[in-house]
Amino acid sequence: MKKSICIVTPCFNEEEGIRDCYDAVRRVFEQHLPNYERRHLFCDNASTDATVDILREIAADDNQVKVIVNARNFGPMRSHFNGVKNAEGDATLLFLPADLQDSPDLLPEFVKLWGQGYEVVFGIRANRVESFPMVAIRKLYYRLVSGSTYLDMPPDVGDFQLVDAKVLEAIKTFDDSYPFVRAMAFEVGFKQVGVPYTSQARAKGVSKNRFFHLIDQGLNGLTSFSTAPIRAALAVGLILSILSIAFAIFNAVLFFTPLGQEVPRGTTLIITALFFFAGTQLFFMGIIGEYVLSIFNQVRNRPLVVERERINFDDPDGKPKKK
């Protein structure tokens, strides 16, 4: 009996490239993985173009393709994690972008390492075909996340990871309202290995992730698996408090010396100090607010996503759902 490999592909308004993504995965299996059963799960985040219509056509001709269509846009991270929670297979590629920036051509190497006993095979973006500013920003961010988290997660690791079925089942137990999937495999552990590769440029269409979306996702990554930001705020706040007390004592002592009597009195230093400490306090309150927001989102216990329909999924009685 063939072992099955499931590919999870989130998508939103990818009509220009979604068929290319499907064809690329099918070609890899036909040419390099003929002894494995292919399963491809697309998670559509309420696309407003022809993406869902194209996926319907693909699923009508290929019962190994499943599609989840959300009732509205729930954000890329929640939609993606809902797809991961519905994935099934002996191994699962947690994320294959519809734009193919992470190439499915790496899948045979991932599967080979999985066959050698590695339960998590993760891609490391050693190089990027991208503008220099974005490459620099991403590298800085990934190193910040990697260095601040309590997990043993190398820099430049994304969601492009092949995990064993037992790892997938462990990941499915996460109940995060705003999930950070790329760190979950490192949270659960198991035997892991990394594969360096070059992240390609998007072939068709434009990215739907805007700058503020990236900032939001980046802050979520920092607070989901790391206490470093709030601990850093505590440490810096303590240091500033000590320096402030020391400065106040120094000024008090200086006032009673002849030199202190000659120093002109003014408000420049006071105003500067007030602005500095007020800005510092607001910054630290913002860090604390990020953690409070995470708690707030979690305790509301809202559904991860609301689905409009499923295509090529089976009902409990084994009958296929209508498309």
How many angstroms separate the CA atoms of 18 and 53, rounded?
Answer: 11
Q: Is 141 exposed, middle or buried (0-12, 13-18, 19+ CB in 10 A)?
A: middle
How many angstroms separate the CA atoms of 278 and 270, rounded?
Answer: 12
Using alpha carbons, select from 107, 86, 93 the residue that is nearest to residue 44: 86
Name the one residue in this structure whose structure tokens are 């630290």.
284
Options 3.90.550.10, 3.90.25.10, 3.30.530.20, 3.30.420.40; CATH for 3-207+303-311 is: 3.90.550.10
How many angstroms separate the CA atoms of 130 and 59, rounded?
Answer: 33
Contact predicate 134/51, CB 8 Å: no
pLDDT at 321: 43
Helical segments of the chain, H only? 18-32, 51-61, 76-85, 107-115, 132-148, 165-172, 184-188, 211-224, 228-255, 258-262, 268-299
Locate the domains of the chain by residue range.
Answer: 3-207+303-311, 228-299
Q: Mind listing the pLDDT tens digit of every residue in the chain (323 residues)?
A: 789 999 999 999 998 889 999 999 999 999 999 999 999 999 999 999 999 999 999 999 999 999 999 999 888 888 999 999 999 999 999 999 988 888 899 999 999 999 999 999 998 887 766 666 766 766 676 666 666 666 777 778 888 999 999 999 999 988 877 788 888 888 888 899 989 888 776 666 565 555 555 565 556 656 666 666 666 766 777 777 677 777 767 766 766 666 555 555 555 566 566 666 776 776 777 777 767 766 766 666 677 788 899 998 875 443 444 43
Pairing relation of β-strands 91-93 and 157-164?
A: antiparallel
Phi and psi torsions of 266, nearest 5°? -160, 175
Radius of gyration of the chain (CA): 25
- Calculate the CA 108 to chain-centre distance: 24
Indicate left, alpha or beta for 189 from its phi (over 0: left) and psi (-120 to 50: alpha).
left
Tokens representing 273?
């100090």
List pLDDT tens digits, range 162-179.
999 999 999 998 887 778
pLDDT at 303: 77
| DSSP letter string, 120-175 | EEEEEEEEE-S-HHHHHHHHHHHHHHHHHSSS---TTEEEEEEEEHHHHHHHHT--
How many angstroms separate the CA atoms of 175 and 79, rounded?
Answer: 14
Tokens representing 2?
């063939």
Tell me the percentage of the chain whose pLDDT exceeds 70. Answer: 66
Task: Enumerate residues 6+ apart whose C-beta is below 8 A from 26.
Answer: 38, 40, 62
Tokens representing 167?
């790892």
Tokens representing 123?
């891609």
